[in-house]
Structure 1
Amino acid sequence: MHFNPYGGTAAELAARLVNADPETDLLEVLDAAGYKPLGSLDAEQAADLRRWIARLAEVFDAPSVPQLNALLAETTSRPYISTHDGRPPHLHYAHEDAPTDERVKAYTAAGLAALFCEDPQRIGRCARQGCAVVFVDTSRNGRRRFCSPRCSNRVHVADHRMRRSA
């Protein structure tokens, strides 16, 4: 499925941040996701972004309009059209000069909100018991239940074995 940049890429960044090891440097996670332009994060900004990530994790459990509106209201979101780095005109939700944590918050909140408006069923958490991985469902039919084929296979094999033993 093709998403607009905020519904797809930004929501996928939210999932990457939620899934990242809490000990991993947040700038490394942002860089690996292709989030540009990168800035710096001081200790206070990193701590604030970690609190934000915990809030994003709640969205993947049960996204709702009030929850997403609250996230949007907390950002310094001021949409405008940008044409940086030779790219065609596209929307930004925080000024390019804003601190990195503020830009990430506006970007991920807008992305999850856009995805929710497009199809709220595409925001999910793995259905395998014990797996906490979140995902953005980009499958064609939008019926994804697991974070990976590995988790899916584990559940289906366990179900099969249970049926056979019964």
Structure 2
Amino acid sequence: EQQPLQQLQQQLQQPVEQVGVPAHPAAAAADLAEQSLSEVEEGKLRAALAQREAALLRQEGENFLLKSQVQQLEQHREEAGRDAQLCVAQLAQALQLLESANVRAPLKAEVDRARALVASARRGLGRLAGATSGKDRGGVGNDHGAAARTGGPRGAGNSDRRSAPRGRPRSPRGPAGPRAPRPGGGAT
């Protein structure tokens, strides 16, 4: 009988925390409140993280779309540069034809005006071709005959693959007086 009584007395003398009951109920409530606050904060942090991840995914999608648009624009730019170079070559050929027709044309003023317009259009297209494909050619913008030498990007039926003339066209002024008849044609 002595032993169980002594054990009971010893248990009564032990501090309350060792038995499993909190010594101060207020401290237990504070611990519980801290745990619930940390859970609330954790929930808020998880929600904020989910929002940021969604925003990041949205930005990645937008970046992908923008990259594909940039690629399309670069392709259009390259096509425009090739088309402009082809136009430059065609205008160079037209200018050569006008130069050769100028000698026998009765309306010199109209031919001169047409030549000036073609030359101006050729210079403008040359600038356009240089601006659009300057990155590809290292910034050289005065390569007017590139499409004529290669036959153009699409082989646009250019049977004459000579390079475009460099520099200014020759003056139509030649020696005055009657001209010798041309082979295969009448005198001019």
Please say whether Structure 1 and Structure 2 have the same fold, judged by a TM-score greater than 0.5. no
TM range (shorter): under 0.3
TM-score, reference length from structure 1: 0.27
Higher RCO (C-alpha under 8 Å, 6+ residues apart):
1
Of Structure 1 and Structure 2, which has the larger fraction of its residues in helix? Answer: 2
Of Structure 1 and Structure 2, which has the larger fraction of its residues in strand? Answer: 1
Specify the structure having the higher radius of gyration (Cα): 2
TM-score, reference length from structure 2: 0.24
